[in-house]
Chain A
Amino acid sequence: MRTVIPDELKIQLRYPARAVGLVGAVAMIISVFLPWSYGHGALDDVGFSGSPSPLQLVFLTLPVLVVVLLGVPLVGKAKLGRWAKTVAWNTTAKTTAIASLGAVVVAMAAIAIELGGLVNIEVGGWVAVAGAVLSAVATIFLPDSPEPTLSRVKTARWVQILAIVLVLAVVLFSAAYALGMSDAGAFLVFAAILTGLVLALRQFGVFGWLGNASANNNRVLVVSAFAVAFAFPFTQNGSNANMSIASQVLIFAATALGLNIVVGLVGLLDLGYIAFLGAGAFTAAILSESAFSTVNFHPPFIVTVLISGTVASILGLIIGAPTLRVSGDYLAIVTLAFGEIFRITMNNLDGTDGPNVTNGSDGIPGIPDLNFFGFDFAQPHVIAGIEIGRFANYYWLMLVVIALIIVVFTNMNHSRIGRGWVAIREDELAAEAMGVNTFTLKLLAFAGGAFLAGVAGSVKAHYDVSVTPDQYVFLESAFLLAAVVLGGMGTVGGVLIGATILKLLPEKLRFFSDYRLLLFGLLMILMMRFRPEGIVADERRQLEFHDEDEELADEIEEELIAHHGHLNPERKGFEL
Chain B
Amino acid sequence: MTASVDARVAPSREVLLDARNVIMQFGGLRAVNDVSLQVHTGEIVGLIGPNGAGKTTFFNCLTGLYQPTSGSVEFSGQPLPPKPRLAVRAGMARTFQNIRLFHNMTAIENVMVGMYSRTKTNAIDAIFRLPRHRREEAASTERAKELLDFVGLTGSGDTLSRNLPYGDQRRLEIARALATDPKLLLLDEPTAGMNPQETRQAEELIFRIRDSGLAVLVIEHDMRFIFNLCDRVACLVRGAVLVEGPPAVVQNDPRVIEAYIGMPATESTTPNWQQPGDNPGEGVEDA
Q: Which residues of A contact B (CB under 8 A)?
A: 407-408, 411-412, 414-420, 422-423, 426-427, 429-438, 444, 448, 538, 540-541, 543-546, 549, 552
Residues of chain B contacted by A417 (CB below 8 angstroms): 121-123, 126
Q: Given A420-B116, A431-B102, A434-B88, verify A544-B126 contact (CB < 8 Å).
A: no
Given contacts A416-B136, A430-B100, 10 further A-B contacts (CB under 8 A): A415-B126, A417-B121, A417-B126, A420-B116, A431-B113, A432-B84, A434-B93, A435-B117, A436-B117, A437-B117
Could you tell me the distance between the alpha carbons of A543 and B102 in the complex, rounded to whole angstroms? 15
Q: Return the chain B residue nearest A541 by Cβ.
A: B104
Residue-wise interface mask of B (13-42) relative to A, using a CB-CB cutoff of 8 A (1 in contact, 0 not)? 000000000000000000000000000000
Establish whether residues B102 and A418, one from each chain, have CB atoms under 8 Å apart when the complex forms: no
Residues of chain A contacted by B121 (CB below 8 angstroms): 415-417
Residues of chain B contacted by A408 (CB below 8 angstroms): 127
Could you tell me the distance between the alpha carbons of A412 and B126 in the complex, rounded to whole angstroms? 6
Q: Nearest chain B CB to A316's CB is how many angstroms away?
A: 14
Residues of chain B contacted by A433 (CB below 8 angstroms): 63, 65, 84-85, 88, 94, 96, 100
Establish whether residues B102 and A422, one from each chain, have CB atoms under 8 Å apart when the complex forms: yes
- Tell which of B49-57, B154-162, B242-250 binds the partner: B154-162
Could you tell me the distance between the alpha carbons of A544 and B123 in the complex, rounded to whole angstroms? 26
Q: Return the chain A residue nearest B137 by Cβ.
A: A415
Establish whether residues A426 and B119, one from each chain, have CB atoms under 8 Å apart when the complex forms: no
Establish whether residues A436 and B113, one from each chain, have CB atoms under 8 Å apart when the complex forms: yes
Q: Given A411-B126, A448-B123, verify A435-B180 contact (CB < 8 Å).
A: yes
Could you tell me the distance between the alpha carbons of A444 and B126 in the complex, rounded to whole angstroms? 13
Q: Nearest chain A CB to B101's CB is how many angstroms away?
A: 7
Q: Which residues of B contact A (CB under 8 A)?
A: 63, 65, 83-85, 88-89, 93-94, 96, 100-106, 109, 112-119, 121-123, 125-129, 133, 136-137, 140, 155, 158-160, 163, 176-177, 179-180
Establish whether residues A430 and B88, one from each chain, have CB atoms under 8 Å apart when the complex forms: no
Q: Nearest chain B CB to A414's CB is how many angstroms away?
A: 8
Establish whether residues B85 and A423, one from each chain, have CB atoms under 8 Å apart when the complex forms: no
Enumerate the 8 nearest inter-chain pairs by beta-carbon distance, A residue then B residue, closest first.
A435-B117, A435-B88, A415-B126, A426-B102, A430-B100, A433-B84, A423-B113, A436-B116
Establish whether residues B123 and A435, one from each chain, have CB atoms under 8 Å apart when the complex forms: no
Most buried by B among A415, A429, A432, A444: A415
Could you tell me the distance between the alpha carbons of A408 and B125 in the complex, rounded to whole angstroms? 11
Partner of B112, one of A416, A427, A432: A416
Establish whether residues A538 and B84, one from each chain, have CB atoms under 8 Å apart when the complex forms: no
Residues of chain B contacted by A436 (CB below 8 angstroms): 85, 113, 116-117
Establish whether residues A543 and B159, one from each chain, have CB atoms under 8 Å apart when the complex forms: yes
Q: Nearest chain B CB to A329's CB is how many angstroms away?
A: 20
Establish whether residues B126 and A430, one from each chain, have CB atoms under 8 Å apart when the complex forms: no
Residues of chain A contacted by B129 (CB below 8 angstroms): 411
Most buried by A among B93, B109, B116: B116
Establish whether residues A541 and B85, one from each chain, have CB atoms under 8 Å apart when the complex forms: no
Could you tell me the distance between the alpha carbons of A415 and B137 in the complex, rounded to whole angstroms? 7
Q: Nearest chain B CB to A155's CB is how many angstroms away?
A: 20
Q: Return the chain A residue nearest B156 by Cβ.
A: A552
Partner of B114, one of A427, A435, A437: A435
Q: Nearest chain A CB to B109's CB is how many angstroms away?
A: 6
Q: Nearest chain A CB to B127's CB is how many angstroms away?
A: 5
Could you tell me the distance between the alpha carbons of A437 and B83 in the complex, rounded to whole angstroms? 10
Residues of chain A contacted by B65 (CB below 8 angstroms): 429, 433
Q: Return the chain A residue nearest B117 by Cβ.
A: A435
Could you tell me the distance between the alpha carbons of A411 and B158 in the complex, rounded to whole angstroms? 19
Establish whether residues B113 and A419, one from each chain, have CB atoms under 8 Å apart when the complex forms: yes
Q: Nearest chain A CB to B67's CB is how many angstroms away?
A: 14
Q: Given A408-B127, A435-B88, verify A429-B137 contact (CB < 8 Å).
A: no
Could you tell me the distance between the alpha carbons of A175 and B183 in the complex, rounded to whole angstroms? 58
Q: Given A412-B127, A415-B133, A444-B123, verify A544-B158 contact (CB < 8 Å).
A: yes
Q: Return the chain B residue nearest A430 by Cβ.
A: B100
Q: Nearest chain B CB to A485's CB is how many angstroms away?
A: 16
Could you tell me the distance between the alpha carbons of A10 and B160 in the complex, rounded to whole angstroms? 37
Establish whether residues B113 and A427, one from each chain, have CB atoms under 8 Å apart when the complex forms: no
Q: Given A416-B115, A416-B140, A430-B100, verify A435-B105 contact (CB < 8 Å).
A: no
Partner of B109, one of A411, A419, A435, A546: A419
Residues of chain A contacted by B94 (CB below 8 angstroms): 433
Could you tell me the distance between the alpha carbons of A206 and B118 in the complex, rounded to whole angstroms? 41
Could you show 22 A-B contacts with beta carbons less than 8 Å apart?
A411-B127, A416-B115, A416-B126, A416-B137, A422-B105, A423-B113, A426-B101, A430-B96, A430-B100, A433-B84, A433-B85, A433-B100, A434-B88, A434-B114, A434-B116, A434-B177, A435-B116, A437-B117, A538-B104, A540-B105, A541-B160, A543-B158
Could you tell me the distance between the alpha carbons of A538 and B105 in the complex, rounded to whole angstroms? 10
Could you tell me the distance between the alpha carbons of A46 and B8 in the complex, rounded to whole angstroms? 90
Could you tell me the distance between the alpha carbons of A434 and B93 in the complex, rounded to whole angstroms? 7
Most buried by A among B65, B85, B106: B85
Establish whether residues A412 and B115, one from each chain, have CB atoms under 8 Å apart when the complex forms: no
Could you tell me the distance between the alpha carbons of A416 and B137 in the complex, rounded to whole angstroms? 8
Q: Nearest chain B CB to A371's CB is how many angstroms away?
A: 28
Establish whether residues A434 and B160, one from each chain, have CB atoms under 8 Å apart when the complex forms: no
Establish whether residues A426 and B114, one from each chain, have CB atoms under 8 Å apart when the complex forms: no
Could you tell me the distance between the alpha carbons of A429 and B98 in the complex, rounded to whole angstroms? 13
Establish whether residues B103 and A426, one from each chain, have CB atoms under 8 Å apart when the complex forms: yes
Residues of chain B contacted by A546 (CB below 8 angstroms): 158
Residues of chain B contacted by A411 (CB below 8 angstroms): 126-129
Residues of chain B contacted by A416 (CB below 8 angstroms): 112, 115-116, 119, 121, 126, 136-137, 140
Could you tell me the distance between the alpha carbons of A416 and B129 in the complex, rounded to whole angstroms? 12
Could you tell me the distance between the alpha carbons of A47 and B109 in the complex, rounded to whole angstroms? 58
Establish whether residues A429 and B100, one from each chain, have CB atoms under 8 Å apart when the complex forms: yes
Establish whether residues B105 and A426, one from each chain, have CB atoms under 8 Å apart when the complex forms: yes
Q: Return the chain B residue nearest A549 by Cβ.
A: B158
Most buried by B among A430, A434, A540: A434
Establish whether residues A435 and B127, one from each chain, have CB atoms under 8 Å apart when the complex forms: no
Q: Nearest chain A CB to B15's CB is how many angstroms away?
A: 23
Could you tell me the distance between the alpha carbons of A527 and B105 in the complex, rounded to whole angstroms? 23
Most buried by B among A427, A435, A546, A552: A435
Most buried by A among B84, B103, B121, B176: B84
Establish whether residues A437 and B113, one from each chain, have CB atoms under 8 Å apart when the complex forms: no
Could you tell me the distance between the alpha carbons of A423 and B105 in the complex, rounded to whole angstroms? 8
